[in-house]
Amino acid sequence: MYLVHMKIVITGITRGLGRALTEYFIAEGHTVIGCGRSGEGIMDLRFSHPAPQDFSVLDVAETTRVEMWAEKMLAIHGTPDLLINNASLMNNPAPLWEVPADKFSKLIDVNIKGVANVIRAFVPTMVKAKKGVIVNFSSGWGRSVAPKVAPYCASKWAIEGLTKALAEELPEGMAAVALNPGIINTDMLQQCWAGEADSFPKADIWAKKAGPFILALNAKDNGCSVSVGEI
């Protein structure tokens, strides 16, 4: 059973799964402290959901800015109960040797280094309090592979390993969990599957199942690789 009210930090909130979860958590009475790269998306969230909700324009790949954001958010809101690393990029489908080096590097910077940046910025206060759950979004492609998405697969396999190692470092009472959200019709899925993505549920429908699932994660799930499952 999860807390009646939770302080939730989530990255990549301006679209897709992050936006859908943000809307769900707020509707359930929780406080969301979130970031995303889209200034327009952040402004829309600010108008729709005033304080105590708190939204910032931020690229998680920018280490110093993440540190500054976290310091400010921790001072205002205190230690989060739940930290969700959702922000990620997908490469345009292509054989690995055709993926430009700069595109590969940017994906790794966001999908792996960005997760580490956010963990580095928020988790020390959670460790000090000896409470809280860290959910790092993985993928079915973090546990299997497919052609033409090698950079994305590599990043999500890394998240699986990073999360399991982090779990070994946390004090009793905390948890780090790698979450496969399932297959959802988002811009990212459209990018790699085009029209086929239309046959899968949209993010807002997914969030009605994923939200309670995530909120129920606790210390017994530490080090686990879990999946939201079929909608």
CB atoms within 10 A of CB 51: 8
| Rg, C-alpha atoms of the chain | 17
Give 113's Cβ-side CA count (13 Å radius).
14
Cα torsion through 107, 108, 112, 115, rounded to 10: -50
- 102 SS3 class: helix
* Dihedral of alpha carbons 218, 221, 226, 229, sign: negative
For the domain bounded by 7-226, which CATH number is listed?
A: 3.40.50.720
Catalytic positions, written as ranges: 152
Q: Are 139 and 155 in contact (CB under 8 A)?
A: no
Residue ranges of the domains in the chain? 7-226
pTM of the model: 0.93
Q: What is the pLDDT tens value at each position of the chain, 231 positions in all?
A: 455 799 999 999 999 999 999 999 999 999 999 999 999 999 999 999 999 999 999 999 999 999 999 999 999 999 999 999 999 999 999 999 999 999 999 999 999 999 999 999 999 999 999 999 999 999 999 999 999 999 999 999 999 999 999 999 999 999 999 999 987 655 664 566 566 655 557 788 999 999 999 999 999 999 999 999 753
